[in-house]
Amino acid sequence: MTKNYKELLHHIRAFVFDIDGVLTDGKFQVAPDGSPIRNLNSKDGYAMQLAIKKGFIVAAISGGHCEGVKKRLRALGMTDIYMSASHKMDSWKDLLAVYEHQGLKPENILYMGDDIPDYHLLLEAGVGAAPANAAPEIRSIAQYVSPRDGGDGCVRDVIEQTLKLQDNWMLDEDFAW
C-alpha cells in the first residue's frame, strides 16, 4: 500500500529544489549586459534558512545559471547549489555522495520540480512535489502538488508542512524582538 505524502514527510531530512519555475516564477528579465534577472520569494527564503538552521539539508539543482540567485541562496545558508546541470541526475548522485556519510538516502529527500528535466528526480525522491503551475507531466507523477505557483510560495509550503509535522517549524528566538 502506498503511503500518502504526509506520512512520508516524517522521513524527510533534505529538500532539493529546481530554481526556474520553483524558486522563481520561471520568468526573467535580461539586464543590459545580457545576464538574467530573476525574482525570488522572501517567504520561500525564510523557510529555507529556517530549515537549514534546524539541521535540514537544502539544495538546488538547476539547468540554468544565474550568479545573483546563487549569491542569494548562499546568503540564506545553502551550500549545495548545482547550476548549469545539463543532466540533473548527475547532480543528484553527487549530492547523495556528499551526504553519504550522514546516511542520506533518496527516501529522505523531498524534491520539487516543475518541468520535464525534473521528471526522473521526482521519481527518485522520497517525496516528489510540484508547484501548481508545473507541466502536466510533472503534476501527474508528483506525490504532492502545492496550491502555490513557482516563485509564489510553493517552497515555503512544502518546507512548512514538513517542519510542522516534525515539530521544527519555529525557533524560540523568532519571537525575541
pLDDT digit string (tens) for 122-162?
A: 999 999 999 999 999 999 999 999 999 999 999 999 999 99
Task: Name the nearest CA neighbour of 134 among 5, 22, 17.
Answer: 22
The residue length of the chain stands at: 177
The domain defined by 5-169 carries CATH number 2.40.50.140: no
Rg of the chain taking only CA atoms, in angstroms: 15
d(CA 52, CA 2): 29
The predicted model scores a pTM of 0.92
Q: Would the pLDDT of 106 be above 70?
A: yes
Q: Which residues neighbour 133 within 8 Å (Cβ) at sequence distance 6 or greater?
A: 21, 26, 114, 149, 150
Average confidence (pLDDT) over 64-80: 93
Q: Given this model, what pLDDT does residue 68 score? A: 87
pLDDT per residue as tens digits for the range 115-132: 999 999 999 999 999 999
Q: Kindly list the distances between the CA atom of residue 42 and the CA atoms of 111, 130, 150, 151, 152, in Å, as whole numbers in the listed order.
A: 20, 19, 13, 9, 9
User: Could you tell me the residue ranges of all domains in the chain?
Assistant: 5-169
Distance CA(130)–CA(55), nearest Å, equals 23
Report the C-alpha gap between 131 and 29 in whole angstroms.
Answer: 21
Question: What's the grid cell of residue 29?
Answer: 528579465
pLDDT at 2 over 70: no
Name the percent of the chain lying above pLDDT 90: 80
Round the average pLDDT of the chain to a whole number and report it: 92
